[in-house]
Amino acid sequence: MESLWAPWRMEWIAKEMKDCIFCRIPKEERDEENLLLRRLSTCFVLLNRFPYNNGHLMIAPYRHVPSLEDLKEEEGMELFRASILCLKAIREAMKPDGFNLGINIGKAAGAGFEGHVHLHIVPRWVGDTNFMPVIGRTKVISEALKDTYAKLWKVLPKMSE
């Protein structure tokens, strides 16, 4: 596999490894810079800084818990309601053909932050998996994060719960 030289990531990686992003980001008052799209009572919606696809969102509870069964009932219900809001917002703003939703619980399941459960929502389009990842082992993200953030910010905060 080819490696892309991306030294700009080291500052972010070093910072992120010191603490949990899902605990730190909602405490800061830098929502746009941190790509935080919506704050709810028990959880928040965040655009993934290293997306699998355009519009890749994450929903996390404010409370630092490792798995779904550790959530209080109101946190679990709000996490699910937030996922519905996000699906509606992404459909309106980006018109995807489908979605992948997933929760990685534990290191063996691929959890990058295994101590803080979070839900991934990845919009999908017919043809978004093409020869680049298969032959070139490179994923192309065709829109800048700030542009995606702006699209989703316009619709997500205004959607009713």
Q: Tell me which residues are annotated as active site.
A: 118
Which contacts of 62-66 are long-range, i.e. CB under 8 A and separated by 24 or more positions? 62/26, 64/20, 64/22, 64/23, 64/115, 64/116, 65/116, 65/117, 66/105, 66/106, 66/114, 66/115, 66/116, 66/117
Q: How far is CA 3 from CA 6, 47, 121, 124, in A?
A: 9, 24, 26, 25
